A and B are shown apart, each in its own frame.
Chain A
């Protein structure tokens, strides 16, 4: 009985230390997370016109990147923003006309480096009890090496400023902010499409944004 109990305790300990599983992340989409914020004091029906530049400001920690996105990618994204704003009843105006709302798009790219740890990384981790197994007191060995990988995270931020009341407010108040966040694809077309989808979602979840 005593030997059986000892064996049981050892087996139970083995089961215990492997009792937390890992989540299955296969179903997770790569669509950007879309978050929106609005100023609670803003009256969106009081604005009539808007303006947005044809270019997108670009912030990156990759020194080879430019500071501005121009050309087809920028045009596609800006066109989608214009389309949504127009559909909500606002009229696009060219400069030098002064719009009621000024929109500015900013893209942020950050290249990160991480490490994928092999099974067993928790051995020796603070709080891990360790100990002997019934086949001996050997340290674990995993013939799998850590994998260094790189991933690129992107944010697309669409800021909307209240120009109409700037003089009265004595500031340029941001009345609506849309932010798209997520890992970037290595393909520009995929990133542009994800951004377009994200912009549409930002408008969908902001029904108050209308003339």
Chain B
């Protein structure tokens, strides 16, 4: 891992070295839509994105870093919540809001590229920051936490023109994070996501 970070740092800082070694790099930014798989929020997040860097060690193997984020916002109508022994109850409507930001080291296997499509599979491993908020009347309950995250994905780069460094990036994947929130009874955070983006590859 340490070796990989050093290699990435070198390629980030030296264009000359990159050219001499005939390696490839990709910088991408994507719009990411996420569909949560949990009880606290159920509506999709359309306010998400991802920025990423990939270094291609060969035609098949690449690794990089990415940072994604999503905002889930959902109104929950009046409902009564009770504690376990049913001695306490509270009734309110609320606005639930979750922000999540996975930061991962990514590993890719690229399949044989055609003229237009360069499909790949990948796995991102890292940490996820998340904040969970519940707004009711004039009050708010909120908590933020970190967890381990795994992001398996499939995708493809699309060549707009054979010689152009600009690529379209289509990807879909799953996000599993261990972020917990006892107050909101969240044991983990999971979502399915799809994304479309643009990248520059040298």
Stretch at the interface among B1-9, B71-79, B146-154, B156-164: B71-79
Given A1-B15, A16-B67, CB of A34 within 8 Å of CB of B73 = no
Chain A contacts of B101 at CB under 8 A? 19
Given A8-B200, A15-B49, A20-B71, CB of A31 within 8 Å of CB of B78 = yes
Residue of B at shortest CB range from A21?
Answer: B71
A19-B200 Cα distance, complex, nearest whole Å: 22
Given A8-B29, A35-B88, A36-B89, CB of A25 within 8 Å of CB of B95 = yes
Chain A, interface residues (CB within 8 Å), range: 35 or more
A40 and B87 contact, CB distance less than 8 A = yes
A33 in the interface, Cβ–Cβ < 8 Å? yes
B69 and A19 contact, CB distance less than 8 A = yes
A33-B155 Cα distance, complex, nearest whole Å: 46
B135 in the interface, Cβ–Cβ < 8 Å? yes
Chain A contacts of B95 at CB under 8 A? 23-25, 27-28
Q: How would residues 110 to 137 of chain B score, 1 for a CB under 8 Å from any chain A CB and 0 otherwise?
A: 0000000000000000000001010111
A40-B85 Cα distance, complex, nearest whole Å: 9
A37 in the interface, Cβ–Cβ < 8 Å? yes
A16-B50 Cα distance, complex, nearest whole Å: 9
A182 and B49 contact, CB distance less than 8 A = no
A33-B165 Cα distance, complex, nearest whole Å: 57
A150 CB, nearest partner CB in chain B, Å: 12
Chain B contacts of A12 at CB under 8 A? 29, 51
* Cβ-defined partner of B51 (8 Å) among A16, A25, A32, A33: A16
B97 in the interface, Cβ–Cβ < 8 Å? yes
Is chain B's interface secondary structure helix, strand, loop, or mixed overall?
Answer: strand
B29 and A30 contact, CB distance less than 8 A = no
A4 in the interface, Cβ–Cβ < 8 Å? yes
A154 CB, nearest partner CB in chain B, Å: 10
Which B residues contact A (CB, under 8 angstroms)?
15, 25, 27, 29, 47, 49, 51, 67, 69, 71, 73, 75, 78, 80, 85, 87-97, 99, 101, 131, 133, 135-139, 165, 200, 202
* 13 pairs, A vs B, C-beta closer than 8 Å: A8-B29, A12-B29, A15-B51, A19-B71, A21-B73, A23-B96, A23-B133, A24-B73, A37-B88, A40-B85, A40-B87, A151-B138, A181-B139
Which A residues contact B (CB, under 8 angstroms)?
1-2, 4-5, 8-9, 11-12, 15-16, 19-21, 23-25, 27-40, 151, 153, 181-183, 201, 205-206
